[in-house]
Amino acid sequence: MGRLNIYLNRLEHNLNFIKSISQDEDGLIAVVKANAYGHGILEISKKLVSLGISRLSVASVSEGILLRKNGVNCNIMVFYPDPFEFHDLVNYSLEPVIYSKEVFNRFIKLLLSKMKSEYSLHIKFNTGLNRLGFKYKDIDWIIQNIQNSPVKILSVYSHLAASEDEKNNLNTKKQIKIFDKIQKKFYAYNSEIKYHLLNSSGIFNYPENQYDWVRAGISLYGYSNNPIWDKNLLPIAELITKIIQIHEIKKGESVGYNNGWSAKKQSRIAIIPLGHADGIGRYLKDKNVSVLVNKKKAPIIGNICMDIFMIDVTDINCKEFDEVTIFGKENPANVFAESAGTISYEILSSLSNRIKRIYFS
């Protein structure tokens, strides 16, 4: 039992800020994968399109299909398409990211079988993250194989491994250098291709390496991975719930499964109706993570259960059915996450669909 209040005017604020530091306002790819980082892919995408965004990106074909079935008609790029879903991808006019020879060949075969031509796609390079991507040495192969094949390269991109780190990160410099070389080589083949390297932190830390497009995800939702940039952004969501019961606990009594916490003194604990099935993970145990009750910090105690967790409210003036803020304006998700040893991305994107999303414009 909880609700995620989502303020769409804050999404607009964040978008405007990102645009204000972008070289090309029209070069913004809005990343709405993972249910728009937990915020609701349909509502967020529709709002972004209404604000002038013309290119969205998702992780999977199914996320793209969901958008299409709900009337989202802009360009949709699929970062990690399953080759076994290429048929659907093409039927719904989604743009795949192609990251290996094997995937390229499979895609061409599918296009030929469907008699398609000039199908738009994106090419991804591995410049040092060592996740997905072609290598620099594959360029000749790609250019050779693209001739006489029914595709059109819309963009060529790569992804930084440590865009949130300080500027003079050596590995980042290396990645930028390789990407420059990739760009030069493709440019000689086709001058219309677009290039992009930066995610949110990259946009903030490496403004001089924006190339043509940038890919903004977490910053749209109000986080930048850096307290300085955070000041310009507004977390768009607040996770709210309420106390459903309060217990007085004697010194020495334990709370929750496996005696996860025991009272060192006479205590008051409150029961909160959210659990690991909602995305409030068991890793929160013993991390001294707090939620807000009547503006005071109440630490999470014991093991998180599937539907419930407990907090210590001994020193807080509160009663049953008082509101509890798990994260929000006063206690942003990144602070909540970092005290638990994770990042805002994980907390937000793992909020389950049991949590009602409520939108405010």
Ligand X SMILES: *Cc1c(COP(=O)(O)O)cnc(C)c1O
Residues that bind ligand X (CB under 6 A): 31, 33, 79, 159, 199-201, 215-219
Q: Cβ closer to ligand X: 309 or 345?
A: 345
CB of 17 to ligand X, least distance (A): 13
CB of 34 to ligand X, least distance (A): 8
Contact 61, 81 (CB under 8 A): yes
Helices (H), 164-257: 170-189, 200-205, 227-230
From the candidates 7, 33, 119, 223, give the one annotated as an active-site residue: 33
> How far apart are CB 132 and ligand X at their closest, in Å?
8
Nearer to ligand X, 47 or 276 (CB): 47
CB of 224 to ligand X, least distance (A): 9
- Range 345-350 contact pairs with CB under 8 angstroms and sequence separation of 24 or more: 345/37, 345/218, 347/279, 348/37, 348/38, 348/39, 348/221, 348/237, 349/34, 349/35, 349/37, 349/38, 350/38, 350/279, 350/281
Could you tell me the smallest distance in angstroms from the CB atom of residue 215 to ligand X? 4
d(CA 213, CA 222): 20
Catalytic residue among 109, 187, 251, 257: 257
Q: Would you tell me how many other CB atoms lie within 10 Å of the CB of residue 311?
A: 25
Residue of minimal Cβ distance to ligand X: 217
In the three-class reduction of DSSP (H, G, I as helix; E, B as strand; rest coil), residue 238 is classed as strand
Tokens of 112: 């030929």
33 is catalytic: yes
Phi and psi at 21, nearest 5°, equal -110, 10
Instruction: Output the CA angle 238-244-248, nearest 5 degrees.
Output: 120
By beta-carbon proximity to ligand X, the closer residue of 79 and 86 is 79
Q: How far apart are CA 42 and CA 195, in angstroms?
A: 27
Q: Tell me, yes or no, if 345 is annotated catalytic.
A: no
Nearer to ligand X, 74 or 112 (CB): 74
Q: Indicate the residue among 172 and 219 with the shorter CB distance to ligand X.
A: 219
> Which residue, 226 or 352, has its beta carbon nearer to ligand X?
226
Euclidean distance between CA atoms 287 and 299, whole angstroms: 9
Nearest to 223 by CA among 338, 113, 326, 143: 338
Among 356, 250, 344, 257, smallest CA distance to 309 is for: 257
Q: Write down the least CB distance from residue 79 to ligand X, Å.
A: 5
Task: Give Cα separations from 306 to 135, 224, 236, 327 (angstroms).
Answer: 44, 30, 26, 19
Q: Which residues are catalytic?
A: 33, 257
